[in-house]
Amino acid sequence: MKKLMRVSGWLPVLFLVLNLSFLLGTKVWADDLAGFVGKSGTLRISGGTAHIPVMKEIAGLIMKRATEIRISVAGGGSGLGIKQVGEGLVDIGNSGRKPTSNEVQKYGLILYRWALDGVGVIVNKDNPVQSLSQSQLQEIFSGRIKNWSQLGGVDKKITLVSRDQASGTRKVFWKKALEKGDISSRALVVSSNGAMKSAVLHNPYAIGYASLGFLDDTVAAVALDGVAPTLANVRSGAYPVVRGLFSNTKGSVSGLTKEFINFLYSQKGQEIILRKGLIPVAQ
């Protein structure tokens, strides 16, 4: 009985510690949003679609905390994001590739890299072919391998799915996975990571590629040369098809734009980035 009483005597202390930890954690998160309190205005964001899950969650948190702020988040691809921010149509232009030196000079861009992202090859989850060599992948996308039976799969024609020329995801895939090899003109072209996943999900013979942040158990991620596209393998450097995610501004930032960029590097912002399947990068 004495032993039981001695243990139970710690329960109020334990509760107090846990409650204090929760409150401190909440305070830290609240402080990350403190820069938005009392502010009003509109923030416009467009560009790379790999960024959208992070952007939308952060925008929702901000607008919930500061009801006089309105934030719009649109896709369109990296090229569009760079062009629109450079022309003053949006405040932040996202890109899944580093803007070229010509783009930086032409538009006076400031670059903020806040995450690393892998680009994974995906097939329908019912496809038995879930591991390829890099050379096989290059043969597939060039159109030289046309049937899944050539890879140990079913005797069905391969449906290629790719992204448009403005896509940063396409650029890194073409450069690092295909080693600047050909992409067949017969490939279906989609405009976003979400559309890519949907195309592969609904076609049992399709193959495409998408940001790791969009991969889930509705599609199958393909190992390249035995290495799966996972966060751990991206972080260790074992998986080679990796790019930075950038938010770009026209000149130095101020006001809501500055607060939004700062939030990406805050504790809460970094937690959101990690939860969305990306690797946070310190400022």
pLDDT at 14 (0 to 100): 35
**CB of 221 closer than 8 Å to CB of 239:** no
- Same fold across 11-115+244-280 and 117-242: yes
CA distance 211 to 118: 6
CA distance 45 to 101: 22
What's the CA dihedral at 23, 29, 35, 39 to 10 degrees?
-80
DSSP symbols for 183-202: --TTSEEESSHHHHHHHHHT
pLDDT at 6 (0 to 100): 38
Which residues have C-beta within 8 Å of that of residue 251, sequence separation ≥ 6? Answer: 108, 110
Question: What's this model's pTM, rounded to 2 decimal places?
Answer: 0.84
pLDDT at 30 (0 to 100): 56
Sign of CA dihedral 214, 218, 222, 226: positive
Crossing angle of helices 11-32 and 267-275, in 10° steps, is 90
> Is 205 exposed, middle or buried (CB count within 10 Å of its CB: 0-12, 13-18, 19+)?
middle
Q: Residue 9 to residues 3, 16, 18, 21: CA-CA distances in angstroms?
A: 10, 12, 15, 20
SS3 126: coil
Instruction: Please state the domain extents for the chain.
Output: 11-115+244-280, 117-242
Q: Which fold has domain 117-242?
A: D-Maltodextrin-Binding Protein; domain 2 (3.40.190)
Q: What is 11-115+244-280's CATH superfamily?
A: Periplasmic binding protein-like II (3.40.190.10)
Q: pLDDT in tens for each of the 283 residues of the chain? A: 433 333 334 334 333 333 433 334 444 445 889 999 999 999 999 999 999 999 999 999 999 999 999 999 999 999 999 999 999 999 999 999 999 999 999 999 999 999 999 999 999 999 999 999 999 999 999 999 999 999 999 999 999 999 999 999 999 999 999 999 999 999 999 999 999 999 999 999 999 999 999 999 999 999 999 999 999 999 999 999 999 999 999 999 999 999 999 999 999 999 999 999 999 998 7
